[in-house]
Amino acid sequence: MSEATTKNIVEEVSNRRTFAIISHPDAGKTTLTEKLLLYGNAIHMAGSVRARRNQKNAVSDWMKMERERGISITSTVLQFPYKGRTVNLLDTPGHQDFSEDTYRTLMAADCAVMVLDAAKGVEAQTRKLFDVCRQRGIPVFTFINKMDRPALDVLELLDELEKVLGMQPVPMNYPIGDGDTFMGVYDRATEDVYLFDRTVRNQTIAPETMTTLDDPRIEQTLNAHQFDDMHTNIALIDELAQYDEEAFLAGEQTPVYFGSALTNFGVQLFLDDFVEMAPEPAAYESDAGEVDPDGAPFSGFIFKIQANMDPNHRDSVAYMRIVSGRFERNMQVKHPRTGKMLKLSRPYSFFADERKVVDEAFAGDIIGLPGNKLYTIGDTLSASGSFNFAPIPRFASEHFGRLINLDMGKAKNFNKGVDQLETEGAMQVLYDADAMRRDPILAVVGVLQFEVVKARLEDEYNIKTKLEMLPQRLARWVIGPDELVEKLPWRMGVLRVEDNEGRLVALFNSIHELNYYANKYPEIAFRDSI
């Protein structure tokens, strides 16, 4: 590689900021996404992400469910330039019941933005997603949203963050008022106050005025109690919480921003800091050691597969996170799992909500590879060598249901559909080891995924199915000497099943049941992943 090319790669990679937004449903993830795009100049009128999403739903049948429920099931990826950086935003599904998809998306992100509703604080879903960020060791920004509504006390919110998530929250700004009195924010670093005006239907950039804390308008707008509290709290926070880059990158601190995505207050201040503070693309572990983003030739891994988005085209898109080097259209890459060489000729990138063919991309970028059914989640692609990235962790399923094909005449289509959805990672498939009929048992992390699978089988493969829910709640691979495993009693409703490679799996009703087996048969391992 020439020196100029290497320099170019280093520069491009260092400009990438790849992140995901996590939140509890309704906290404002979609609204914040839209406003980031508005400030990133990627859309000119907020509202279009939602509008496009609805348009898309109109052509994509299985998304009907999504539209009806007003939730986002699929993840999208959006790229936009901001202040010399290239920002890649991975949109994670925010509904209560979610699939492994959400977790996998976080595998492809270098940091996360956690959106909280100022009136609610840390909610259940946020906590679950936050746990994944912690496992991944990625830094987390916090955006406390909906300050234009009556909010919890600021110190109470910060206290909760610290207690529940175990990180030190460091407010980078402080809200001036809340609900009807919310005027803007005080920036701790510069001691400037940014006051905002609302715009018509909140669709364009909110005009801002820069001033200081002693601006008489503040005292006039806030009540005496709010005003005093603000001054006391700012002084207290100055004493207690200073931003420390190392602690942030280590996931020990979370910088906190206050704002209102709906009215655009505080969004730009957040974005300005975000592109400076968010980490550059990280190195990833592989079986040949760590792969540096700017050091090695091109490599990447598939973290998501989505088929039949548009029934007219029946295409399948594999989403790849580029881990190192430069990607060029038409390049030949190695697919170590099959040993094949592949030509990547129609890669897409995603700008706002539109696909466009990409000629060149760098570590940190996400590109879509359409049409190749060869890929499965976790696959490595690379221009050199035949190493594999560390596998994407699977998350233990908690719900199980037997899927019955109601139209036996279409067994082939049924199997094809189940195979495809399994390849996409929509669910895991197990088979009852003792039953005569081989109806697949679907294993999922969130129960909504059952409905997604049923709806997609019906829409995309014309197969009607019925699901018989099973009472079991835990799946464990059973590993041990054959003679001991063969003698294992299958009592108390523990179900003996096999995965699609014929490996033995036990489905337990409860953790107590599992513990009982684990204690009674110490020579046998009951593993939650394989």
Of 139 and 266, the one with the shorter C-beta distance to ligand G4P is: 266
Give the shortest CB-64-to-ligand G4P separation in angstroms: 18
Is residue 282 within 8 A of residue 383, CB to CB? The reply is: no
Of 134 and 149, the one with the shorter C-beta distance to ligand G4P is: 149
Q: What one-character-per-residue DSSP string does 429-478 give?
A: EEEESS-SS-PEEEEESSTHHHHHHHHHHHHHH---EEEEEES--EEEEE
Give the shortest CB-113-to-ligand G4P separation in angstroms: 12
Give the shortest CB-295-to-ligand G4P separation in angstroms: 37
What is the contact surface with ligand G4P in residues (CB under 6 A)? Answer: 23, 25-31, 94, 145-146, 148-149, 260-262
Of 94 and 175, the one with the shorter C-beta distance to ligand G4P is: 94
Smallest CA-to-CA distance from 195 within 186, 391, 203, 204 is with: 186
Question: How many CA atoms lie within 13 Å of 327's alpha carbon, on the beta-carbon side?
Answer: 34
Of 149 and 346, the one with the shorter C-beta distance to ligand G4P is: 149
Of 198 and 473, the one with the shorter C-beta distance to ligand G4P is: 198
Of 70 and 471, the one with the shorter C-beta distance to ligand G4P is: 70
Task: Identify the three-state secondary structure at position 117.
Answer: strand
Residues 90, 266, 135: CA angle, nearest 5 degrees: 40
Of 133 and 307, the one with the shorter C-beta distance to ligand G4P is: 133
Residues 347, 348, 352: CA angle, nearest 5 degrees: 170
**Bridge partners (DSSP) listed for residue 282:** none
**Bridge partners (DSSP) listed for residue 335:** 340
CA distances from 75 to 11, 32, 71, 247, 486 (A): 28, 15, 11, 30, 43
Give the shortest CB-70-to-ligand G4P separation in angstroms: 7
CA distances from 355 to 59, 77, 468 (A): 16, 10, 39
Give the shortest CB-94-to-ligand G4P separation in angstroms: 5
Give the shortest CB-149-to-ligand G4P separation in angstroms: 5
Smallest CA-to-CA distance from 448 within 60, 103, 94 is with: 94
Give the shortest CB-332-to-ligand G4P separation in angstroms: 40
Give the shortest CB-31-to-ligand G4P separation in angstroms: 3
| Residues 6 or more apart in contact with residue 163 via CB below 8 angstroms | none
Give the shortest CB-216-to-ligand G4P separation in angstroms: 27
Of 14 and 221, the one with the shorter C-beta distance to ligand G4P is: 221
Of 30 and 397, the one with the shorter C-beta distance to ligand G4P is: 30
Q: What one-character-per-residue DSSP string does 459-528 give?
A: HHH---EEEEEES--EEEEEES-HHHHHH----TT-EEEEETT--EEEEESSHHHHHHHHHH-TTSEEES
* CA 136 remoteness from chain centre: 12
Q: How many residues does the chain have?
A: 530
Of 27 and 478, the one with the shorter C-beta distance to ligand G4P is: 27
Of 35 and 104, the one with the shorter C-beta distance to ligand G4P is: 35
Measured between alpha carbons, how far apart are the two ends of the chain, in Å? 39
Of 262 and 291, the one with the shorter C-beta distance to ligand G4P is: 262
Q: What is the DSSP letter of 418?
A: H
Is residue 38 within 8 A of residue 205, CB to CB? The reply is: yes
Q: Where are the alpha helices (DSSP H) in 84-192?
A: 100-107, 124-136, 154-165
Give the shortest CB-487-to-ligand G4P separation in angstroms: 51
Give the shortest CB-261-to-ligand G4P separation in angstroms: 4
Question: How many CA atoms lie within 13 Å of 270's alpha carbon, on the beta-carbon side?
Answer: 30
Give the shortest CB-27-to-ligand G4P separation in angstroms: 5
CB atoms near residue 182 (< 10 Å): 26
